[in-house]
A and B are shown apart, each in its own frame.
Chain A
Amino acid sequence: GAVVSQHPSWVICKSGTSVKIECRSLDFQATTMFWYRQFPKQSLMLMATSNEGSKATYEQGVEKDKFLINHASLTLSTLTVTSAHPEDSSFYICSARAGLAPYNEQFFGPGTRLTVL
């Protein structure tokens, strides 16, 4: 149980285009999903917290107009990187909080490697 999937697993795009990444909780309902980015050999950096049916909360320094997050259902959240540039190339990982667990147990997706040319 507690499986989180991401699609696509990798994507290459041209500078200036937009890319959408999907995050799904396959066997549980996720009221909250989190989006992270990770640069090589570095830790995970939280980008935003996404609650189903409401606007995402972005971390300081993360451009909300560039990284659009939508959490339309209890099993799906999407991250759209708009007008992507080479500096947006990174490993994007989502996580989902397991339902009503009293503690903040989170399960991570396999990540999406974005390369912007």
Chain B
Amino acid sequence: QQQVKQSPQSLIVQKGGISIINCAYENTAFDYFPWYQQFPGKGPALLIAIRPDVSEKKEGRFTISFNKSAKQFSLHIMDSQPGDSATYFCAASISGNTPLVFGKGTRLSVIA
């Protein structure tokens, strides 16, 4: 049973546009929600993360919005650039030494 559902599977956005990727989780014990960016043939890189005590976190062009009651969180990439073209994974975990649970990933293509 997939604990973190991610959508869409793929996304094409015009350069300068806003990319939005959504995730929903089931386990209310999750208290850490990171997003990872992965380029082909590379390991995932931590992009931004949020904890449930805040509803939004912004770092540069990347923003996480978090809705605890709906058990949803999303990644917004403002002013999307071709260099943002990658696969993005949302994840969730319970604080401590528990493993991350990953979504299935979203392949983002930013076209000029």
Contact = CB atoms under 8 A, between A and B. Distances in A.
Interface of A: 4, 6, 31-32, 34, 41-44, 46, 49, 51, 91, 93, 95, 97, 102-111, 113
A9 to B, nearest CB: 9
Contacts of B103: 43
The A interface, classified by DSSP as helix, strand, loop or mixed, is strand
B46 A105 contact: yes
B46 A106 contact: yes
Contact of B93 (A6, A104, A107, A111): A104
A105 to B, nearest CB: 7
B60 interface: no
Which range contains the number of B residues in contact with the other chain?
Answer: 20 to 34
B104 A104 contact: no
Interface in B1-60: 31-32, 34, 36, 41-46, 49, 51
Nearest to B9: A41
